[in-house]
């Protein structure tokens, strides 16, 4: 290979390497965007409370009382008798941004307090742990759900009225 041929090959390679370092960027920028979606606040209202009605305790042993979370129907078992009285599942209405999903938080249990410091532990059962508001984003939406429950009742349960409270919470997902 002659000097002239070698120079023809080496010179472009050398100039390319030198130009890269001579023109290297030390910074860069880009114009970008930001966005936000504003939605309505979520609200929760109670329609009816959880009511087990008037119940006759079993003569012996232990029975159960259940309120179905979907239908509100009361069932009794093992010697418990349900008298004609007002019974209901807890019914709740959620309002907020249409099309949005939300979570439902209900405690696993709560306590009914009665006479002479007597208590009954109630196991709660919601119809679901999530829901979706009706309609589409940009409009108001609504949804509803229910809470039922059950408890055991023994032949020695103190008679009288029992009441208690529990918290229900909904939140956007």
Q: Is 89 in contact with 49 (CB distance < 8 Å)?
A: no
pLDDT in tens, 33-44: 999 999 999 999
Q: What is the mean pLDDT of residues 68-80?
A: 97
pLDDT in tens, 125-159: 999 999 999 999 999 999 999 999 999 999 999 99
Is pTM beyond 0.85? Reply is: no
Domains of the chain as residue ranges with CATH: 43-172 (2.60.40)
3-state secondary structure of 25: coil
Give Cα separations from 6 to 12, 18, 20, 145 (angstroms).
11, 18, 22, 84
3-state helix vs strand vs coil in the chain, percent to 5 = 15, 40, 45
Q: Is 104 in contact with 48 (CB distance < 8 Å)?
A: no
């Amino acid at each position: 290979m002659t000097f002239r041929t070698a120079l023809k090959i080496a010179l472009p390679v050398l100039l390319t390497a030198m130009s890269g370092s001579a023109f290297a960027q030390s910074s860069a920028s880009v114009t970008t965007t930001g966005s936000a979606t504003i939605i309505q606040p979520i609200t929760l209202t109670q329609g009816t409370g959880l009511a087990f009605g008037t119940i006759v305790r079993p003569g012996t042993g232990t029975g159960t009382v259940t309120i179905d979370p979907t239908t509100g129907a009361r069932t009794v078992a093992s010697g418990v008798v349900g008298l004609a009285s007002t019974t209901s599942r807890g019914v709740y209405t959620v309002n907020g941004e249409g099309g949005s999903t939300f979570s439902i938080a209900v405690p696993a249990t709560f306590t009914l307090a009665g006479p002479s410091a007597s208590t009954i532990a109630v196991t709660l059962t919601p119809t679901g742990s999530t829901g979706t508001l009706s309609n589409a984003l940009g409009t108001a939406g609504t949804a509803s759900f229910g809470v039922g429950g059950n408890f055991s009742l023994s032949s020695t349960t103190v008679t009288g009225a029992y009441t208690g409270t529990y918290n229900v919470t909904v939140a956007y997902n």
